[in-house]
Amino acid sequence: MNREEMFSRVTARTDPWDMLVVGGGATGVGIAVDAASRGYDILLLEQSDFGKGTSSRSTKLIHGGVRYLQQGNISLVMEALRERGILRNNAPHLVHDLAFVVPNYDWWEAPFYGIGLKVYDMLAGRYGFGASKMISDKETLQKIPTIKKKGLRGGVIYYDGQFDDARLLINLVRTASRQGAALLNYARVTGLNRDGDGYLEGVVFEDIETGREHGVRAKVVINATGPFTDMIRRLDDPAAAPMITPSHGIHLVLDKSFLPGASAIMVPHTEDGRAIFAIPYLGVTLVGTTDTPILESTLEPRPMDAEIDFLLETAGTYLEKVPSRDDILSVFTGIRPLVKSGDAKGTAALSRDHTIHISPSGLLTIAGGKWTTYRQMAKITVNHALTLAGLESRPCATKQLNIHGYHKTPEKFGDLALYGSDAPAIQDLMRIDHMRRERLHPDLPARVGEVIWAVRFEAARTVEDFLARRTRSLLLNARAAIEAAPKVAALMAKELGQGGEWEKAQVESFRELSKLYLPG
Ligand SMILES: Cc1cc2nc3c(=O)[nH]c(=O)nc-3n(C[C@H](O)[C@H](O)[C@H](O)COP(=O)(O)OP(=O)(O)OC[C@H]3O[C@@H](n4cnc5c(N)ncnc54)[C@H](O)[C@@H]3O)c2cc1C
């Protein structure tokens, strides 16, 4: 994955691509993997970094969605549970089981959630992750030593999947690339081109690094821009009705001491009807999420004070140690690309199903869905796209396609486990010079060698790409990430052949961005 090579390949091509995807999140990259593995020529253009949008800001669960079961959306839950099992098989280095405890304080909660979670187990069928069961107050405390003891009656334990969203995404990018797809980050689609009959025949994109515009041709254009879906639809038809109701979701990152065990807490129903999780993740505790309707999608959404207060307050209801603003290591915010529905009351009630729409000019839009179901969404989208493009039909090949980095026992690579089968090559790169083994900051797990790896093999172009997505430094500890930024900038400048001005500008822009991750 080298951007210069990709770029030359894209600009040198005069024949139309079989398919062109706009958007490098889970939805778009999933489509690139699917189409390339069926042997179609596919180009993906992402306006910023791969995963810059919602796909690096999720709760990091590969799950059926207990909440959607409560809403009665059985088909979505069954599909997601099946996809959960397939993804664990195809990316065992990134998806692992996690035990969730639903703590019970009222007499009715144990039978109510106990039965509901048995149904969840049943719906998973052969893709099950482990049987749920009711546990006593003592067992609940063993699993979650920090849970509020007063009034605790017991709990229900069940299993779901956990993953690192940005790392899965970059591994999917590499899978697609290995299968022959061309994927370009920092390439913003600014216009759509039509033939004499008004059908789309390609796009214009701006190379963000040079500011130059380029035209590319394609037999079909796929809009997979998540929260930005309607902006691309309006490039096609300025009068297009909005499809998306965007909704904010924030997560607080707290120290591990708030949740020192290996199990997560799941509160299925808070006062305002949301599900809240507290999850052990890469040595910290994630608390989330909120569901707040917003008017407009932006690439770097800002957490609202009321959302932070709500999560602190709710966490304080269930934890012995009540968290305060001073305990927050980082806050990150994502935007759900929820598909509009006339009768839904609030965004929490909007379906997480996906929708496909084809405009009169042939623009294929895929919106909604979940990270967990990206593979199924990709399969359906490519089936539609090949018909629109008049391509020969070939069967989907992703059900048993190993994702880049596939490794059955990645734990043996220690803190490089998330890299899976790439880990030995990174270890070799670190062996060349002992300085490369050094941590970038005492409070962050990332090492110097990982910066070099990310630039050479994972298309990292900016300090933010490395600290926010190739590693999760910004999410794990925003202050430490700011302190590490100058070192990362110096290492990247050397790899990318950039000078002092670039380094300075990168550090400054990362410092500005980080303010959004540190509540005042
Ligand atoms: C708070 C929160 C928690 C969630 N938790 C979970 C979870 O635990 N499990 C789960 O399964 N799902 C979860 N989801 C849902 C999941 O994250 C999303 O469904 C998924 O990431 C959406 O991916 P996407 O590719 O459609 O959108 P995005 O990831 O936003 O990707 C769209 C991309 O399009 C690009 N783009 C936009 N305009 C242009 C243009 N003009 N040219 C080129 N590129 C462009 C953007 O830069 C962006 O990168 C969560 C969502 C939120 C908000």
pLDDT for 310: 94
Q: Ligand 1 within 6 A of 368 CB? A: no
> 486 CA distance to ligand 1 centroid (A)?
29
What b/e readout covers 173-192, taking b as 16+ CB neighbours within 10 angstroms? Answer: bbbbbebebbbbbbbebeeb
> 278 CA distance to ligand 1 centroid (A)?
21
Q: Ligand 1 within 6 A of 354 CB? A: no
Looking at the predicted structure, is the pLDDT value of residue 240 above 60?
yes
* pLDDT tier, 348 (very low <50, low <70, confident <90, very high otherwise): low
pLDDT for 316: 94
When pLDDT is averaged across residues 64-93 and rounded to a whole number, the result is 89
Q: Ligand 1 within 6 A of 184 CB? A: no
Q: Rounded mean pLDDT of the chain?
A: 94
For the chain, what percentages of helix, strand and coil (3-state, to nearest 5) are there?
A: 45, 20, 35
Peptide bond into 54 cis (omega under 30): no
> 108 CA distance to ligand 1 centroid (A)?
37
Q: Ligand 1 within 6 A of 54 CB? A: yes
Looking at the predicted structure, is the pLDDT value of residue 349 above 70?
no
Q: Ligand 1 within 6 A of 372 CB? A: yes
* The ligand 1 atom nearest the CA atom of 368: 19
- Residues of the chain with pLDDT > 90: what percent? 88
Looking at the predicted structure, is the pLDDT value of residue 350 above 70?
no
Q: Ligand 1 within 6 A of 247 CB? A: no
What sections of 100-256 are H helices per DSSP?
109-124, 137-143, 165-178, 229-236
Each residue of 406-463: pLDDT tens digit? 999 999 999 999 999 999 999 999 999 999 999 999 999 999 999 999 999 999 999 9
Q: Ligand 1 within 6 A of 22 CB? A: yes
Q: Ligand 1 within 6 A of 370 CB? A: yes
pLDDT: which is higher, 354 or 183 = 183
Q: Ligand 1 within 6 A of 246 CB? A: no
CA distance 427 to 421: 11
Tokens of 388: 């629109």
- Residue with CA nearest ligand 1 atom 31: 25
CA distance 214 to 85: 41
* The ligand 1 atom nearest the CA atom of 28: 25
Q: Ligand 1 within 6 A of 27 CB? A: yes
The distance of Cα 9 from the centroid of its chain, to the nearest Å, equals: 27
> 48 CA distance to ligand 1 centroid (A)?
13
Looking at the predicted structure, is the pLDDT value of residue 344 above 70?
no
Q: Ligand 1 within 6 A of 369 CB? A: yes
Assessment of whether the complete model's pTM goes beyond 0.95: yes
DSSP-derived secondary structure for 488-507: HHHHHHHHHT--HHHHHHHH
> 484 CA distance to ligand 1 centroid (A)?
27
* The ligand 1 atom nearest the CA atom of 51: 49
Q: Ligand 1 within 6 A of 301 CB? A: no
* The ligand 1 atom nearest the CA atom of 352: 19
* pLDDT tier, 347 (very low <50, low <70, confident <90, very high otherwise): low
Q: Ligand 1 within 6 A of 378 CB? A: no
When pLDDT is averaged across residues 216-230 and rounded to a whole number, the result is 98
- Lowest-pLDDT choice from 70-74, 263-267, 473-477: 70-74
Looking at the predicted structure, is the pLDDT value of residue 2 above 90?
no
> 257 CA distance to ligand 1 centroid (A)?
30
Q: Ligand 1 within 6 A of 45 CB? A: yes
DSSP-derived secondary structure for 199-242: -EEEEEEEETTT--EEEEEBS-EEE--GGGHHHHHHHH-TTPPP
CA distance 272 to 6: 47
Contacts of 425 (CB under 8 A, 6+ apart): 453
Question: What phi and psi values does residue 158 have, to the nearest 5 degrees?
Answer: -145, 175
Q: Ligand 1 within 6 A of 192 CB? A: no
Looking at the predicted structure, is the pLDDT value of residue 153 above 90?
yes
Question: What phi and psi values does residue 115 have, to the nearest 5 degrees?
Answer: -70, -45
> 292 CA distance to ligand 1 centroid (A)?
16
pLDDT for 181: 98
Looking at the predicted structure, is the pLDDT value of residue 491 above 60?
yes
Let me know the angle formed at the C-alpha of 120 by 143 and 62, rounded to the nearest 5 degrees.
Answer: 70
Question: What phi and psi values does residue 59 have, to the nearest 5 degrees?
Answer: -80, -5
Contacts of 510 (CB under 8 A, 6+ apart): 462, 463, 464, 467, 481, 482, 485, 489
When pLDDT is averaged across residues 3-18 and rounded to a whole number, the result is 95
Q: Ligand 1 within 6 A of 46 CB? A: yes
DSSP-derived secondary structure for 49-97: STT-SGGGSS--EE---HHHHHTT-HHHHHHHHHHHHHHHHH-TTT-EE
> 425 CA distance to ligand 1 centroid (A)?
30
What sections of 321-472 are H helices per DSSP?
374-389, 423-431, 448-457, 463-464
Looking at the predicted structure, is the pLDDT value of residue 271 above 80?
no
pLDDT for 273: 73
> 141 CA distance to ligand 1 centroid (A)?
36
* The ligand 1 atom nearest the CA atom of 333: 1
Helix count and strand count (H, E) for the chain: 16, 19
pLDDT for 482: 98
- Residue with CA nearest ligand 1 atom 4: 58
* Residue 307 CB neighbours (<10 A): 22
Question: What phi and psi values does residue 200 have, to the nearest 5 degrees?
Answer: -65, 135
Strand partners, 101: 157, 265
Each residue of 368-407: pLDDT tens digit? 999 999 999 999 999 999 999 999 999 999 999 999 999 9
pLDDT: which is higher, 98 or 354 = 98
